[in-house]
Amino acid sequence: MFEGRVALITGGARGIGRATAETFSQRGARVVIADRQGAESAAAELDGLGVEVDVADAGSVAQAVARIMEKLGRIDVLINNAGITRDATLVKTSDAAWDAVIAVNLTGTFNMTRAVAPHMVAAGRGAIVNASSIVGLHGNFGQSNYVASKSGVVGLTRVWARELGRKGVRVNCIAPGFIATDMTAAMPQEVLDGMKAKTPLGRLGTAQDVARAYLFLASDEASFINGQVLGVDGGLVIGT
């Protein structure tokens, strides 16, 4: 499916990003794992390339993309998966917590796409998939910074789909619901039960559920899908 293509996954050393890298590798892609730490060791297990990068730092991103192009000569798929949370209610959200989440989730997506897009445009093709969230569409208690960042990602996706689509580059995003990760594994059981109760399918999503959504939107099977938000949430509606 992706033989001969290069897929760059940010936040790819662990969790959803790692599952995504494995999924693309299994489909024949040459995987590039970009992360703040652990990228090289994770990539080595997949016969890929690992690059350490801080997506919030435009200089770090430019260096990483230059290295990828030097080593591999192309980037066919960009999965903007890197993201963080710093949850608190509005009046308890510090400047540092606000800035950190916006820097990684929103500015990081901007930095990576701005650096990669020219190479895709030059090639006349490419697929970019961004990570939003169900809360970016509906809001969520105690997540002003995270919701703002993920709502912003939806807006960027729609702008870039218009700008880049005419040049052969598709841009879409996914909006996951409650996903089982290392972070959720540490939560109290009653909290997990509450998450499941809000999800009509009655379970948390898996990293593989998200990875397969990334895979589909990046694939030729989605060649006429552009500027869309795909919910990966088990039918979840926040607040129900």
Catalytic amino acids? Answer: 146
Nearest Cα residue to 135 out of 39, 225, 35, 236: 236
Burial zone of 187 (CB within 10 Å; 0-12 exposed, 13-18 middle, 19+ buried): exposed
Helix (H, G, I), strand (E, B) or coil at 23: helix
Residue 49 belongs to what H/E stretch?
strand 49-52
Q: What is the distance, to the nearest Å, from the Cα of residue 43 to the centroid of all Cα atoms in its chain?
A: 17
Contact between 12 and 42 (Cβ < 8 Å) = yes
Handedness of CA 80, 81, 85, 91 (dihedral sign): positive
Q: How far apart are the first and last CA of the chain?
A: 39
